[in-house]
Amino acid sequence: MTMQARHLSIAYGSNQVLSQVSLTLHPSRTTGLVGRSGCGKSTLAKAMTGIIPAPQETLFHNDQIFFPDLSKTGNIIHYMWQDPLAALSPFLSALDLICEPLKAIHKLPKAERQRQARDLLNMVGLNATCSVKRPHQLSGGQCQRVALARALAVKPRFLVLDEPLSALDLVTQEQITSLLRKVRAEMNMGLLIISHDLQTLAKLADDIAVMDGGRIVEHKETHEFFAAPEHQLSRRFVEISKYSAPAAALN
Ligand SMILES: Nc1ncnc2c1ncn2[C@@H]1O[C@H](COP(=O)(O)OP(=O)(O)O)[C@@H](O)[C@H]1O
Ligand SMILES: [Mg+2]
Secondary structure, 3-state, 102-134: HHHCCCCCHHHHHHHHHHHHHHCCCCHHHHCCC
**Is the C-beta atom of 38 inside 6 A of ligand 1?**
yes
3-state SS, residue 153 = helix
Instruction: Spell out the domain ranges in the chain.
Output: 1-76+156-245, 87-155
Q: What is the pTM of this model?
A: 0.91
Q: What CATH architecture applies to the domain 1-76+156-245? A: 3-Layer(aba) Sandwich (3.40)
Burial of 37 (0-12, 13-18, 19+ CB in 10 A): exposed
**Is the C-beta atom of 47 inside 6 A of ligand 1?**
no
pLDDT < 70 stretches in the chain: 244-251
Q: Where are the beta strands (DSSP E) in the chain?
A: 3-12, 15-25, 30-35, 59-61, 64-65, 77-80, 158-162, 190-195, 207-212, 215-221
Residues with CB under 5 Å of ion ligand 2 are 42
Looking at residue 43, its pLDDT comes to: 97
Which residue's C-alpha comes closest to atom 26 of ligand 1? 38
Separation of CA 163 and ligand 2 centre (Å): 7
Separation of CA 200 and ligand 2 centre (Å): 16
Mutate to test the pocket of ligand 1, among 10, 15, 194, 195 (most ligand atoms within 8 A of CB): 15
Separation of CA 118 and ligand 1 centre (Å): 36
What is the DSSP pairing of strand 30-35 with strand 64-65?
unpaired
Looking at residue 72, its pLDDT comes to: 77
Separation of CA 103 and ligand 2 centre (Å): 29
Which residues does 226 contact at the CB level (< 8 Å), separation at least 6? Answer: 202, 238
**Is the C-beta atom of 40 inside 6 A of ligand 1?**
yes
DSSP string covering 194-208: EES-HHHHHHH-SEE
Distance CA 34, CA 41 (A): 8
